[in-house]
């Protein structure tokens, strides 16, 4: 019964403090250990592995230093994958961010009234991504797929293509289009949540000062949305670096690596070809790209009231 303990030389608050800090370690430890074991240790191990040549079939590893990375620099398929990821990032940013912002701002009030519209934009995001990939694979099917049939029905057969591989360079564009379709509603929701967090008084004050609609938008909405938009841009960039599922489902990186991205190339190199060390080097490149995106974000927002991401 610590409540009835008389005050001694060691004050009660001291005892409580020691106890509570021990409890603090004890309560945080399980999460930290699991996280360290399944995330931090493997990341470090991946970095180490990237310096070795290691075939999955045998236990022996051979130290190569940076040779995996110099090989990557001369690997045409890696070049295609990197280029596709960059294309993914750029197109996702310039399509999704403005479109999502437009939907959230200009249509914010309308979306509020017609809940069905909001759901329509959000629907592609709540569907399982493999299901999305399969539906679009059928839509893009060259002979009886929905898109080509529609084009022929509209007497535009010259626009009918093998959207997922003929010509090979077209596949990645089709996949990016599907990705934009899937994620724009999600980003609309994020920006909408940001808009709704702006206190109504700000708008009223601006209107009382005689601001027009576009002035209110420029001087109230835009500055207050800056942080949410930047966080969202970071999410889009990192998501585009990590992109795997849609590509894997729709083309598997083909034809002949034309639609390969880093994640699918890494997966194929490691678990189909068994070149573990080389695949680890690709994973490290993905990690570094993610890091760069994060650093850019931190630098852009530095000095602002950032809170915790």
DSSP state of 219: I
> What does the alpha-carbon distance between residue 148 and residue 144 come to, in Å, rounded to a whole number?
7
- 256-295: contacts with other proteins (CB under 8 A): 262-263, 266-267, 270-271, 276, 279-280, 282-284, 286-287, 290, 293-294
Element (H, E) at 63: strand 61-63
Nearer to other proteins, 164 or 241 (CB): 241
> What does the alpha-carbon distance between residue 104 and residue 198 come to, in Å, rounded to a whole number?
13
Nearer to other proteins, 29 or 66 (CB): 29
CA 99 from centre of chain: 17
Which DSSP string corresponds to 35-59? HIIIIIHHHHHHHHHTTEEEBTTSS
Nearer to other proteins, 164 or 286 (CB): 286
Site string for other proteins, 97-116 (x = CB under 8 A): ------x---x-xxxxxxxx
Buried b (16+ CB within 10 A) or exposed e, 171-185: bbebbbebbbbbbbb
Q: Does 154 bind other proteins (CB under 8 A)?
A: no
- 176-205: contacts with other proteins (CB under 8 A): 181, 185-186, 189-190, 193-194, 196-197, 200
- 44-83: contacts with other proteins (CB under 8 A): 45-46, 49
Q: Does 126 bind other proteins (CB under 8 A)?
A: yes
Q: Does 27 bind other proteins (CB under 8 A)?
A: yes
**Least distance to other proteins from the beta carbon of 108, Å?**
11
């Amino acid at each position: 019964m610590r409540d009835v303990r008389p005050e001694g030389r060691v004050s009660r608050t001291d005892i409580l403090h020691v106890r509570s800090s021990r409890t603090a370690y004890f309560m945080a430890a399980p999460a930290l250990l699991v996280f360290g074991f399944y995330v931090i240790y493997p990341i470090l191990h991946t970095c180490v592995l990237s310096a070795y040549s290691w075939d999955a079939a045998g236990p022996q590893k051979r130290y190569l230093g940076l040779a995996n990375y110099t090989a990557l620099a001369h690997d045409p398929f890696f070049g295609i994958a990197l280029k596709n990821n960059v294309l993914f990032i750029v197109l996702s940013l310039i399509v999704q961010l403005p479109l999502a912002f437009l939907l959230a701002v200009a249509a914010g009030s309308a979306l509020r009234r017609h809940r069905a519209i909001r759901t329509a934009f959000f629907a592609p995001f709540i569907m399982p991504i493999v299901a999305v990939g399969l539906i679009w694979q059928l839509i893009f099917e060259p002979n009886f797929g929905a898109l080509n049939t529609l084009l022929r029905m509209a007497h535009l057969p010259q626009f009918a293509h093998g959207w997922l591989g003929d010509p090979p360079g077209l596949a990645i564009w089709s996949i990016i289009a599907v990705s934009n379709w899937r994620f724009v509603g999600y980003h609309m929701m994020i920006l909408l949540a940001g808009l709704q967090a702006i206190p109504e008084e700000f708008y009223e004050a601006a209107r009382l000062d005689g601001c027009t609609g576009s002035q209110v938008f420029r001087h109230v909405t835009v500055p207050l949305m800056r942080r949410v938009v930047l966080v969202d841009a970071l999410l889009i960039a990192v998501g585009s670096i990590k992109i795997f599922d849609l590509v894997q489902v729709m083309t598997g990186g083909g034809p002949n690596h034309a639609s390969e991205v880093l994640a699918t190339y890494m997966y194929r190199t490691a678990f189909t070809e068994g070149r573990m060390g080389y695949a680890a080097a690709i994973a490290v490149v993905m990690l570094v790209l993610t890091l760069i995106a994060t650093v850019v974000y931190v630098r852009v927002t530095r000095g602002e009231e950032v809170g915790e991401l």
